[in-house]
Amino acid sequence: MCKACSKISIISSRRAIDTYEYNQRFPKNFASEWPELCYFDRSIKSTLKIMKSLKYLLAVAALMGAFALSAQAHLEFVGAVSFESQPNNNPDSNLAALGGFVDTTGFVLCGNSDDGDFGNLITNPISVMAGSYLVIHYGKGNDGSSKGGGIEIYHVVDGETSVDVPLFGTSGFGNGGISSIREFCGPTVTAPDSGTTAMLLGSALAGLGLVRRYLKR
């Protein structure tokens, strides 16, 4: 019985030694006998890094796209007239053009590109009063039907105070660049209060927080 136990013990010890020696040689043998698998592992790591970078870019692009769509969604097209139908391009004639679409009783001029209210070079987004109307004069461009271009009217809705205006005319009267922007405010139009400003800031910070959380995954 003791001899049998000794033989089993010796066999077990030899197997343990053989197993240990094999495990010690395995990484070297694996790298030499299967180099393509090691290359595959490095390739996977490289691909994961690229995918992480793409995930970051897509998240930023989605966030910027959401902001852009939000700005455009708060600007409603009201109508357009040819520039030739107007006596000239000044605030009074622009208000008269607006009066052809909405009741302008009590309306006042609250923004004028001639005074630099929208920047010396008009670029998006522009700051506006919530609920105001924008009367924009566009040049004729290459395909416009009106000699002086067209006048397009937009309404700022949903309490928005920052919008993207079309930088080129969209009506058949003129598809050139912006010549002027006149903003008119009705009696009920007021400047955004601190609560609205805080809400807009909170929304922006929340969006950035979501992007940061997404990138940590």
Sequence-distant (6+) residues with CB within 8 A of 155 are 75, 76, 78, 131, 132, 133, 134
Q: Is residue 52 part of a domain?
A: yes
Token code pair at residue 39: 């290359």
Mean pLDDT for all residues in the chain:
77
**Confidence band, pLDDT 50/70/90 cuts, at residue 188:** confident
Residues 102 and 7 in one domain: no
Residue 44: other Cβ atoms inside 10 A: 10
89 within 8 A of 150, measured Cβ to Cβ: no
Residues 129 and 166 in one domain: yes
Q: How many domains does the chain have?
A: 2
Residues 124 and 40 in one domain: no
Residues 118 and 144 in one domain: yes
Q: Is residue 134 part of a domain?
A: yes
Q: Is residue 18 part of a domain?
A: yes
User: How large is the average pLDDT for residues 121-127?
Assistant: 95
Q: Is residue 79 part of a domain?
A: yes
Q: Is residue 201 part of a domain?
A: no
Sequence-distant (6+) residues with CB within 8 A of 196 are 130, 159, 161
Residues 132 and 36 in one domain: no
135 within 8 A of 182, measured Cβ to Cβ: yes
What confidence tens digit (pLDDT) does each residue in 30-48 have? 555 555 555 556 667 666 6
Residues 41 and 125 in one domain: no
Residues 46 and 84 in one domain: no
pLDDT at 104: 97
**133-138 and 150-156 strand pairing:** antiparallel
Q: What is the pTM of this model?
A: 0.59
**Confidence band, pLDDT 50/70/90 cuts, at residue 138:** very high
Residues 98 and 46 in one domain: no
User: What domain range includes position 138?
Assistant: 74-186
What confidence tens digit (pLDDT) does each residue in 196-213 have? 445 555 665 666 666 566
* Axis-axis angle for helices 2-33, 35-73 (nearest 10): 60
Q: Is residue 199 part of a domain?
A: no
What confidence tens digit (pLDDT) does each residue in 59-108 have? 444 444 434 444 456 999 999 999 999 999 999 999 999 999 999 999 99
The listed range with the strongest mean pLDDT (12-26, 47-61, 128-142, 186-200) is 128-142
Residues 140 and 91 in one domain: yes
Q: Is residue 139's pLDDT more than 80?
A: yes
Residues 147 and 88 in one domain: yes
Residues 19 and 108 in one domain: no
Residues 178 and 78 in one domain: yes
pLDDT at 124: 96
181 within 8 A of 89, measured Cβ to Cβ: no
Q: Is residue 203 part of a domain?
A: no
Q: Is residue 200 part of a domain?
A: no
